[in-house]
Amino acid sequence: MDRSAPCPCHSSLSYQQCCQPYHFGAHPEKAEALMRSRYCAYALNMPEYLIATTHPENEQYTKNTSLWKKSIQQFAQTTQFNSLEILEAAQIGTTATITFKAGLIQSRADASFTERSTFEKVDGRWLYLSGEVLAGNIRQ
């Protein structure tokens, strides 16, 4: 995608100034930046990044990455990622929780949801550990 275009995570920064460095291997300092970069990776259909930033203890984690990749790609291709709103972010030591609202459309229907995600920093890298859907229409 065009690096100077607005970042798909809806931060109002350009992709280059926002999530691109993380997609190219930089490690976000804050869990919130990782969360945004994962939303962005869904919007850009980047399953490898999503897999690489998932904690091995996450319930969706599987060694069958080809199947996992397909399910991410299918979700990414059939979803419009219209908005992202961070409602709350907190960090204690190497654990962070972020509550966000993702505004999504699937098959012309509202598939928005609010989730409280938990992230753990392992060897200097934030990983997505678990998510609890607080409200909404889908589970992904």
The residues of the shown chain that bind Zn ion, judged by CB under 5 A, are 7, 9, 11, 18-19, 36, 40
Alpha-carbon span 24 to 41, nearest angstrom: 11
Alpha-carbon span 1 to 60, nearest angstrom: 28
Q: Which is nearer to Zn ion, 48 or 57 (CB)?
A: 48
Smallest distance, Zn ion to C-beta of residue 8, A: 7
**b/e for 108-121, b at 16 or more Cβ within 10 A?**
eeebbbebebbbbb
Q: Which is nearer to Zn ion, 33 or 96 (CB)?
A: 33
Tallying the residues shown for the chain, one arrives at 140
Residue 5: its H or E element = none
Q: Which is nearer to Zn ion, 7 or 104 (CB)?
A: 7
Smallest distance, Zn ion to C-beta of residue 136, A: 21
Smallest distance, Zn ion to C-beta of residue 84, A: 9
Smallest distance, Zn ion to C-beta of residue 47, A: 18
